Amino acid sequence: MNSTELQTLATQVRRDIVRMVHAVQSGHPGGSLGCTDLLVQLYFSTMNINPEEFDMDGKGEDIFFLSNGHISPVWYSVLARRGYFPLEELKTFRKLNSRLQGHPATEEGLPGIRIASGSLGQGLSVALGAAQVKALNHESNWVYSLHGDGELQEGQIWEAAMYASHHKVDNILSFIDCNGQQIDGSTDEVMSLGDLEGKWKAFGWRVMTCDGHSFADLQRVISEAHQHRGSGIPTVVLMKTDMGKGVDFMEGTHKWHGIAPSDEQLTDALNQLESTLTDY
């Protein structure tokens, strides 16, 4: 899929996100909009997957873990548009008896989800376990994970970071959504993350940076990471994004971390996001 096609999808996914969150008047649009381009890139271009026959073990497939589970709207939209489940199921997001729980879960059996996430800081450990099993099973596939920058304040992330380099896990590619925002304000105000590049390097990881809204740049870091399989060094990408990307009044502020747009705001947002494919 070329960059134009990916962009077309990303715009439609952003429409899905604001419509889903508006419909139930809850959810997390800011980070979802910010990570849309990465998830579209992974699911429609990078990953070797089998959406039609979802299998929990994912043998012979690449696997993606969303550690910052609150940005479930973007994941659900991308999974549905990639064919994991019917598009119209997006209408049930966060509603009673839905498979699309507020935070991703396996209990209702939604295809594409392999573990619950939402309580932050756990997903890197999980991704590493899955990556090690791929190595044990002699699979050439990759494990991808996504984490919020605020999530790096959780201690378990750094336990996992230490573990990854010690055990030479080199079939994992982790992305950090560096939008500089969290619920109470900017990360600098709430709990400074300091020199993130230096921190990851000190924990033994190869660190790359990229523009999270450029498919070309995302493709560049992914392709470079793939060349380092066998090095025994895990790779992390500090991905610069704008929270709320694509909707001008949501961009760059923590205020849209976890609230829903009003009817008027929805209209405003959708006017900025042309329907490129069919709405769900």
Partner 1 sequence: MVDTHHITLEPTESKDTRSGFGQGLLEVGHQNPNVLGLCADLTGSLKMNAFRDAFPDRFFQVGIAEANMMGVAAGMTIGGKIPFTGTFANFSTGRVYDQIRQSIAYSEKNVKICASHAGLTLGEDGATHQILEDIGMMKMLPNMTVVVPADYEQTRQATLAIAMHHGPVYLRFGRPKVPVFIDPSAPFELGKIQMMMSGADLTIAACGHLVWEAIQAAVELAKDGIHADVLNVHTIKPLDEKTLVKSAQKTGHVLVAEEHQRAGGLGCSIAQALSSQHPTPMAFVAVEDQFGESGTPAQLMKKYGLSAETIVVKAKGLLGR
Residue 129 interacts with partner 1 (CB under 8 A): yes or no: yes
Task: Specify whether the CB–CB gap between 267 and 52 falls below 8 A.
Answer: no
Task: Output the six-digit token pair for 68.
Answer: 């910052």
Helices (H), 169-211: 187-190, 196-202
10 lies in the binding site for partner 1 (CB under 8 A): no
Does residue 98 bind partner 1 (CB under 8 A)? no
Do residues 244 and 18 lie in contact, with contact meaning Cβ atoms separated by under 8 Å?
A: no
Q: Which of 12, 122, 179, 241 binds partner 1 (CB under 8 A)?
A: 122
SS3 182: strand
- For residue 156, the minimal CB distance to partner 1 (Å) is 4
**Site for partner 1 contains 153 (CB under 8 A):** no
Name 178's bridge partners. Answer: 240
Give yes or no for residue 133 binding partner 1 (CB under 8 A).
yes
CB of 103 to partner 1, least distance (A): 9
Q: Is 63 one of the binding residues for partner 1 (CB under 8 A)?
A: yes
Contact segment (CB under 8 A) with partner 1 among 70-78, 152-160, 192-200, 213-221 equals 152-160
Look-up: residue for tokens 């201690």?
155
**CA dist., res. 63 & res. 153, Å (int):** 25
- Exposed, middle or buried by CB within 10 Å (0-12, 13-18, 19+), for 79? buried
Amino acid identity of residue 118, one-letter, is: G
> Rounded to an integer, what distance in angstroms lies between the CA atom of residue 130 and that of residue 243?
29
Closest to partner 1 by CB, 127 or 237: 127
List 119, 140, 192, 231, residue binding partner 1 (CB under 8 A)? 119
Decide: is 91 part of the binding site for partner 1 (CB under 8 A): no
Q: Is 80 in the site for partner 1 (CB under 8 A)?
A: no
Binding to partner 1, residues 24-53 (CB under 8 A): none
The residue among 118 and 204 lying less far from partner 1, judged by its C-beta, is 118
Which amino acid, one-letter code, is at 220?
A: R
Residue 208 pairs in a beta bridge with: 237
Do 218 and 247 meet the contact criterion of CB atoms below 8 Å apart? no
Nearest to 178 by CA among 226, 203, 213, 202: 213
Residue 273 near residue 17, CB atoms below 8 Å: no
Alpha helices of 147-207 — where are they, by DSSP H? 155-166, 187-190, 196-202
223 touching partner 1, by CB under 8 A: no
Q: Is 173 in the site for partner 1 (CB under 8 A)?
A: no
Asked if residue 116 binds partner 1 (CB under 8 A), the reply is yes
Q: Which is nearer to partner 1, 55 or 248 (CB)?
A: 55
**# residues contacting partner 1 (CB under 8 A):** 39
Rule CB under 8 A: say whether 230 interacts with partner 1: no
Cβ at position 158, least distance to partner 1 in Å:
9
Residue 112 is a binding residue for partner 1 (CB under 8 A): no
Of 46-54, 77-85, 91-99, 131-139, the segment contacting partner 1 by CB under 8 A is 131-139
Binding site for partner 1 (CB under 8 A): 56-59, 63, 65, 105-107, 114-119, 121-134, 136-137, 155-156, 159-160, 162-163, 166-167
